[in-house]
Amino acid sequence: MSPSVSSNIGSNSEIMKGRTVSGRSWRQPKKRASSIVTTISLNAASKSWEQRHAEKEAQKATALLEKELKEQTRQSILDKKARKADQEKRRMENEFKTASRQAQLMGKHSGLKMKAMNKKQLRQIKKTRMNTKTGVLEYVPAYAK
């Protein structure tokens, strides 16, 4: 009986290599981290200086291209803002001109009193105000803040 027991213990000792502290016999013995990493020819071989230099140049080129694209988008945003401000200025100037013409026309009907005016005429009454952003005089509704 002892030979069968010893053969059983021998095969068991190769697998277990002693009892675990926690008593969990199903745990696998830990391997070294180096044995876990798969070594293939691409990973194992170190890159030549030319390859590293070419990769670095490619990275520089992509970074430069990205920087140029960001600059283009920033410039387009600035152009849009400038164009919008110019359009706003022209709109205010045109509104001022038309309002002044209307005021001249209303001067002809100066005999009209405020009480005699209809709603549409009252709505057309405007006052002048200096636009703080553009520095241009503009006409605004009489009760606008």
Residues of the chain with pLDDT under 50: 1-2, 4-8, 10, 12-13
Q: How far apart, in whole angstroms, are the C-alpha atoms of residue 127 and residue 72?
A: 42
- Closest CA relative to residue 101, chosen from 111, 93, 90: 93
